[in-house]
């Protein structure tokens, strides 16, 4: 993996490396909380992995499932590397070329009108019954709100015009 540019990306990168090479879960380093105080707050986060500019894994939470953002990132990084059902688990031989990014989510808010969406600025959550799909903002290949909604609905087996509850969220993306 390339040298990380942000400490949260470094945390995700280290979590993956330690899990794959030592089969253990990284504890958040105390220095991280001094450097980034918000890492001790709960928040939803996604960790995305790319290999040769292509998606290699992505796992996340739209709302906090752990006590701290740091723990959220660690667990989601391990999940992106080992439990994304679309890909086989990352292998140690891929570590040096894996590119990691972290998206920290703001709290989702309901969308009452499609005019409130912007595929570059907002991620979207589509809920229908017990099914829900999430699409992060500003994804390569998604060039409109309609494409974003179609892709999110497809993730949960809905057709383009099927009714669903919509939520939007903003992210802070670290690469």
Whether the pTM exceeds 0.85: the reply is yes
| Strand (E) or helix (H) holding 146 | helix 145-155
Tell me: pLDDT of 4 over 90: no
Confidence bin at 3 (pLDDT 50/70/90) = low
Q: Considering the chain, what is the average pLDDT of its residues? A: 95
User: pLDDT tens, 15-34?
Assistant: 999 999 999 999 999 999 99
Rounded CA-CA distance 113/67 in Å is 33
Share of the chain above pLDDT 90, in %: 96
Q: What is the pLDDT of residue 68?
A: 98
Q: What is the pLDDT of residue 160?
A: 86
Whether the CB-CB separation of 149 and 124 falls below 8 Å is answered with: yes
What integer is the mean pLDDT of 35-39? 96
Longest dimension (CA), the chain: 49
Please report how the helices 69-82 and 7-22 are oriented relative to each other, as an axis angle in degrees rounded to 10.
50
* Distant-in-sequence, close-in-space partners of 99: CB < 8 Å, separation ≥ 6: 1, 2, 49, 50, 51, 175
Confidence bin at 54 (pLDDT 50/70/90) = very high
User: pLDDT tens, 67-78?
Assistant: 999 999 999 999
């Amino acid at each position: 993996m390339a040298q990380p540019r942000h400490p949260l990306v470094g945390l995700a990168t280290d979590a993956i490396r330690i899990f794959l090479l030592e089969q253990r879960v990284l504890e958040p380093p105390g220095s991280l909380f001094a450097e980034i105080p918000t890492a001790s707050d709960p928040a939803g986060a996604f960790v995305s992995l790319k290999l040769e500019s292509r998606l290699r894994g992505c796992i996340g939470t739209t709302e906090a499932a752990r006590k701290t953002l740091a723990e959220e990132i660690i667990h989601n990084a391990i999940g992106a590397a080992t439990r994304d059902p679309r890909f086989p688990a990352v292998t140690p031989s891929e570590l040096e070329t894996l590119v990691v990014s972290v998206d920290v989510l703001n709290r989702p808010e309901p969308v009452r009108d499609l005019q409130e969406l912007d595929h570059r600025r907002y991620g979207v959550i589509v809920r229908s019954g017990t099914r829900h799909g999430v699409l992060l903002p500003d994804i390569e290949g998604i060039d409109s709100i309609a494409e974003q909604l179609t892709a999110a609905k497809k993730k949960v087996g809905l057709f383009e015009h099927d009714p669903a509850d919509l939520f939007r969220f903003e992210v802070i993306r670290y690469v």
